[in-house]
């Protein structure tokens, strides 16, 4: 049985790798072929110089070439952790330390899970460093200093530990204390925790890393307040964020639910857009709010959470699964770690479905902005502006974007906006 489990996992693991790697290669070739023929949509040709297009192609290719190695590195890492004896080693270590030095219940499980998570975050440093300080820097996007980078990582680790350990403790306690329906109790707990995070992330955690301020006085602010009133959005939920301290990339987002909801515009976006364009971006974000996109995504996540915990409940005592990866007896904490390490090749195929829903939301929010402003031009101009300034890929391979993109391609979005008759 153990061999069968390992065989099935490795087959799906290889398939996932082939699809991921193959899509990246397809995308690389597609971008190069378009560049060779200078085939870009006319609305971009008019708004961007040849040098800017060349730059965006080089940026896309640099990221895709690096992705090859990052993909291979990430896969090798998972294989080493699963088959290199790390899990049994960590299990013995957590038993020694957790058993002898800590009287806290579930100390062993906490150390085991925390140890594996730490291995992953340390191992992800090389690829993260290269992409920040080599690729992003080469194209003028990186503004992060070493000091800030280090401070971010330490803060992230601290916040992750302070929130993660109590969370994990409750899950381990529920698994042990609530009998065979533990997974339903855990479902309610994790669901509640997710709701809490949707509220405290924008209001308490994100401000640890960035400054959020009311929009600067001026025409943009006045017109935004007017628009917010028209749409019925609470105006003290609109912020400018100092994104420029880490990166020259520009962006905007809508987050949170209830009283914690907020629209955030990066200072880089405010600086690079005309007032009309900035207003269009804000109208788009209000569209996400009005059309309840966060709520809909939460419902989808909750369904996946329920199904995931049900599957976990079937596997949690299944001895061959643990034996297949070198662990001599089942335990709740090892089940959690194994489940998260092994589920990737199975859940990989859900990614494009969620992206598809997200892309549908983006089309709807664009449409909302056009209808609210009664003018398609500012939204289109804002999109072209964002695309050009961020050197976004103008010609992704259709399979690649269908799989990986949470937003429709710039060309698709502009096309859809032009098809709306106001």
For residue 131, which of 52, 73, 48 has the smallest C-alpha distance?
A: 73
Q: How far is the CB of 205 from Zn ion (least distance, A)?
A: 21
Q: How far is the CB of 226 from Zn ion (least distance, A)?
A: 21
Q: How far is the CB of 281 from Zn ion (least distance, A)?
A: 9
3-state SS class at 12: helix
Residues that bind Zn ion (CB under 5 A): 362, 365
Comparison of 264 and 365: residue with beta carbon closer to Zn ion: 365
Structure tokens at 408: 């429709």
Q: What angle do CA 340, 343, 347 make, to 5 degrees?
A: 130
Q: How far is the CB of 52 from Zn ion (least distance, A)?
A: 24
Q: How far is the CB of 407 from Zn ion (least distance, A)?
A: 7
10 contacts 18 by C-beta, under 8 angstroms: no
Comparison of 113 and 379: residue with beta carbon closer to Zn ion: 379
Cα–Cα distances (Å) from 260 to 73, 202, 254, in that order, read 39, 7, 11
Residue 369: CB atoms within 10 Å? 25
- Residue 276 designated active-site: no
Comparison of 362 and 381: residue with beta carbon closer to Zn ion: 362
Cα–Cα distances (Å) from 226 to 148, 222, 235, 257, 283, in that order, read 37, 6, 9, 22, 11
Comparison of 362 and 380: residue with beta carbon closer to Zn ion: 362
422 contacts 374 by C-beta, under 8 angstroms: yes
Catalytic residue, candidates 136, 267, 285, 381: 285
178 contacts 309 by C-beta, under 8 angstroms: no
Comparison of 57 and 282: residue with beta carbon closer to Zn ion: 282
Report DSSP state, residue 376.
S
Comparison of 63 and 284: residue with beta carbon closer to Zn ion: 284
Distance from C-alpha of 422 to C-alpha of 143, rounded to nearest angstrom: 41
Q: Burial level of 60, CB count in 10 A (0-12/13-18/19+)? A: buried
In sequence order, the 6+-apart residues with CB closer than 8 A to the CB of 118 are none
Phi, psi of 239 (to 5 degrees): -130, 155
Q: How far is the CB of 252 from Zn ion (least distance, A)?
A: 8
Comparison of 335 and 365: residue with beta carbon closer to Zn ion: 365
Comparison of 112 and 289: residue with beta carbon closer to Zn ion: 289
Q: How far is the CB of 17 from Zn ion (least distance, A)?
A: 31
Report DSSP state, residue 134.
I
For residue 179, which of 337, 333, 334, 332 has the smallest C-alpha distance?
A: 332
Chain position carrying tokens 């995308």: 27
Catalytic residue, candidates 267, 332, 362, 366: 366
- Bridge partners of 142? 247
Q: How far is the CB of 307 from Zn ion (least distance, A)?
A: 27
- Residue 128 designated active-site: no
Phi, psi of 124 (to 5 degrees): -85, -5
**Residues carrying an active site annotation:** 285, 366
């Amino acid at each position: 049985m153990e061999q069968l489990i390992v065989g099935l996992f490795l087959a799906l693991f290889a398939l996932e790798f082939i699809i991921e790697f193959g899509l990246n290669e397809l995308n690389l070739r597609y971008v190069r072929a378009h560049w060779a023929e200078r085939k870009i949509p006319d609305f971009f040709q008019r708004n961007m110089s040849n040098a800017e297009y060349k730059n965006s192609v080089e940026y896309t290719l640099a990221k895709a070439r690096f992705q090859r190695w990052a993909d291979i590195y990430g896969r090798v890492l998972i294989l080493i952790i699963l088959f290199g004896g790390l899990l049994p080693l960590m299990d013995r270590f957590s038993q020694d330390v957790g058993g002898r030095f800590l009287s806290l219940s579930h100390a062993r499980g906490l150390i085991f899970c925390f140890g594996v998570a730490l291995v992953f975050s340390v191992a992800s440093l090389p690829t993260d460093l290269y992409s920040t300080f080599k690729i992003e820097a080469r194209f003028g996007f990186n503004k992060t200093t070493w000091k800030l980078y280090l401070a971010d990582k330490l803060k992230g680790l601290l916040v992750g530990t302070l929130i993660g350990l109590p969370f994990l403790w409750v899950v381990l306690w529920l698994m042990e204390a609530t009998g065979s329906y533990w997974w339903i109790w855990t479902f309610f707990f994790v669901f509640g925790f997710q709701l809490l995070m949707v509220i405290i992330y924008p209001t308490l955690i994100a401000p640890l890393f960035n400054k959020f301020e009311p929009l600067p006085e001026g025409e943009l602010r006045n017109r935004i307040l007017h628009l917010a009133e028209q749409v019925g959005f609470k105006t003290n939920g609109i912020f400018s964020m100092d994104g420029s301290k880490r990166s020259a990339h520009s962006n905007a987002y809508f987050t949170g639910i209830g009283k914690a909801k907020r629209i955030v515009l990066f200072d880089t976006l405010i600086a690079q857009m005309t007032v009309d364009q900035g207003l269009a971006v804000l109208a788009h974000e209000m569209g996400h709010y009005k059309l309840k996109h966060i709520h809909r995504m939460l419902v989808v996540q909750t369904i996946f959470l329920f199904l995931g915990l049900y599957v976990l409940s079937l596997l949690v005592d299944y001895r061959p699964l643990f034996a297949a990866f070198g662990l001599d007896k089942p335990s709740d904490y090892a089940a959690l770690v194994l489940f998260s390490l092994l589920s990737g090749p199975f859940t990989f195929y859900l990614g494009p479905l969620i992206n598809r829903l997200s892309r549908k939301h983006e089309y709807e929010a664009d449409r909302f902005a056009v209808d609210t402003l009664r003018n398609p031009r500012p939204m289109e101009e804002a999109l072209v502006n964002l695309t050009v300034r961020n050197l976004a890929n103008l010609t992704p391979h259709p399979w690649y974007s269908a799989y990986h993109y949470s937003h429709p391609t710039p060309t698709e979005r502009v096309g859809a906006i032009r098809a709306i008759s106001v």
